[in-house]
Amino acid sequence: MLEIYERLPSALEFDVCGEIELCHIQREKGRFKTTTLTGETVRIFLERGKILNVGDALISRCGRIFLVTAKKEDVVRASTENWSQFSKACYHLGNRHVKVQIGEKWLRILPDHVLVEMLSRLSMSVEYEKSAFIPEQGAYQNVKNHERII
């Protein structure tokens, strides 16, 4: 069984030997067990409190490097051509502390019939799909040593 204790900032400069496909919840955890795309079992023991990003690299105890990729998940994609409606949808989802992935005039959330109804009432076009879910990390996620953004 592979064991991973260290992350690398990017896989670009390394010889990657495989991929570890993770859902958004797994990328938030520091300790869990999963498999590589080729089926090898991996135990991951990383520093807690730091989210794994798609594109990060993980190095095993034996020196093998794996690329972190996003697993396709059941999500809801809502879109509109109206920037005002899009802004309102983002505001209302943020007000409810919902995990949201934001694109240009589109967003993704996890399936929730109450939120889907709200988005529909805001004139958003809503569809269910299976896609990589990479929610926004939040304004304070990238701040070092808990310094406040001013």
- Of 11-25, 47-61, 74-88, 132-146, minimum mean pLDDT range: 132-146
Q: What is the pLDDT of residues 53-91, one digit of tens each?
A: 999 999 999 999 999 999 999 999 999 999 999 999 999
Mean pLDDT confidence for 85-104? 96
Task: Work out the pLDDT band at 147, boundaries 50, 70, 90.
Answer: very low
> 16 with 64: CB under 8 angstroms?
no
CB atoms within 10 A of CB 70: 18
Mean pLDDT confidence for 105-117? 98
Instruction: Name residues whose C-beta falls within 8 Å of residue 72's C-beta, 6 or more positions apart in sequence.
Output: 130, 131, 132
Ordered by start, the domain boundaries in the chain are 2-70, 72-132
101 φ/ψ angles, rounded to the nearest 5 degrees: -105, 130
What is the pTM assigned to this prediction?
A: 0.83
Instruction: Report the percent of the chain where pLDDT is more than 70.
Output: 89
Task: Work out the pLDDT band at 12, boundaries 50, 70, 90.
Answer: low
Map 136-149 to HEC letters. Answer: CCCCCCCCHHHCCC
Instruction: Report the percent of the chain where pLDDT is more than 90.
Output: 77
Residues 141, 137: Cα–Cα separation, whole Å: 6
Please identify, in words, the CATH class of the domain defined by 2-70: mainly beta
Element spanning 78, H or E: strand 72-79
Q: What is the CATH number of domain 72-132?
A: 3.30.70.790
Mean pLDDT confidence for 108-127? 97
Instruction: Name residues whose C-beta falls within 8 Å of residue 23's C-beta, 6 or more positions apart in sequence.
Output: 70, 71, 73, 133
141 φ/ψ angles, rounded to the nearest 5 degrees: -60, -35
